[in-house]
Amino acid sequence: ELSQGTLVKKAKALRVNKRELKLTPATDFVATEAREKDWCNILSSHKGDSACYTWSFTNRAIGKFALRPDKELGALAVKKVGLKKRNLTTYDFPVATCV
């Protein structure tokens, strides 16, 4: 399970309900094991939200960044790329592309 942090504290500071700060259900995500201890290694998209959110599997928590599409470029799409044939040196890396 991944944590969105201390929503109660943030909600009190902003004087809003905790539910307003919670992310909507995830619709898709991608992850990679490459250098997962160095930076966030999970990217998620959520229902009704054009942003993609970074997560750290090592810390089991949401990252500092949300990737938002440029209004001029359109929606942000997330896909996995990699080789079909798997071996010890092949990885699937997450790639964010504007479509």
First to last CA, the chain: 30
Residue 61 counted as domain residue: yes
Domain range enclosing 78: 25-98
> Do residues 44 and 73 lie in contact, with contact meaning Cβ atoms separated by under 8 Å?
no
pTM of the predicted protein model: 0.64
Q: What is the mean pLDDT of residues 2-25?
A: 87
Residue 2 counted as domain residue: no
Provide the number of structural domains found in the chain: 1
pLDDT given for residue 72 in this prediction: 52
pLDDT given for residue 15 in this prediction: 92
* 14, 16, 18, 22 alpha-carbon torsion, rounded to 10°: -80
Mean pLDDT, the chain, rounded, equals: 75
Higher pLDDT, 98 or 40: 40
pLDDT given for residue 16 in this prediction: 92
